[in-house]
């Protein structure tokens, strides 16, 4: 960790393009955080390879059960890995599991997620397909705080994209993903900068 940088943790299940966008942002001068660890419920997730190439700790955590939720023991391991690295902010990037209320209560910092719709429209899975099925003319993506609901937490940032005649799920998803890569690092920057400023005003940050 570079001096003055806030440790960031990431959870991912897939290819990790948003992981890469945040790794790239953290490599720039002036970004307030460094990615300290990337964890995945899938041992073969490309997101872990992206982390390793960047010299970031990459850890597979066996979910110990099928379905949308991790076993309590798996959540405890994730929390332990985050605590070990003093992670202040946790960013979900294509993490295909639902974190339990117990996990959210135990993690002391903000938990962020990126979703491929303009919330509150189309929460949950297959947002791009559902947007097309509903005939919307504008789609987009949202960075939000994670709460106990499904994509219901307070919104931090959004970006819109037009739905073009002839779009299918893949073409719309690709256009939205480009916006995700732009707004997710900036949302993290804003949350970390505000958090650091608040902590300094309280006089309890380590210099």
Q: Catalytic residue, from 60, 88, 115, 181: name it.
A: 115
Task: Report how far residue 72's alpha carbon sits from residue 88's, in angstroms, rounded to the nearest whole number.
Answer: 21
Contacts of 84 (CB under 8 A, 6+ apart): none
Question: Does 115 participate in catalysis according to the annotation?
Answer: yes
Give the catalytic positions in this structure.
115
């Amino acid at each position: 960790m570079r001096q003055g940088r806030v440790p960031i943790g990431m959870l991912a299940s897939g290819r990790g393009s948003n992981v890469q966008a945040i790794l790239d942002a953290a490599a720039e001068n002036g970004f307030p955080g460094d990615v300290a660890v990337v964890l995945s419920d899938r041992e073969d997730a490309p997101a872990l390879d992206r982390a390793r190439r960047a010299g970031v700790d990459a850890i597979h955590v066996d979910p110990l059960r099928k379905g949308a939720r991790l076993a309590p023991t798996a959540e405890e391991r994730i929390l332990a890995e985050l605590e070990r690295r003093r992670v202040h902010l946790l960013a979900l990037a294509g993490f295909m599991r639902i974190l339990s209320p117990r996990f959210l209560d135990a993690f002391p910092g903000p938990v962020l997620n990126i979703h491929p719709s303009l919330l509150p429209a189309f929460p949950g899975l297959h947002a791009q397909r559902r947007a097309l099925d509903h005939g919307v003319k504008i789609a987009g993506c949202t960075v939000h705080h994670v709460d106990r609901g499904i994509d219901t937490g307070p919104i931090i940032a959004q970006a819109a994209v037009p739905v073009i005649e002839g779009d299918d799920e893949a073409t719309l998803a690709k256009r939205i993903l480009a916006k995700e890569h732009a707004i997710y690092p900036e949302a993290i920057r804003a949350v970390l900068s505000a958090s650091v400023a608040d902590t300094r005003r309280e006089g309890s940050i380590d210099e």
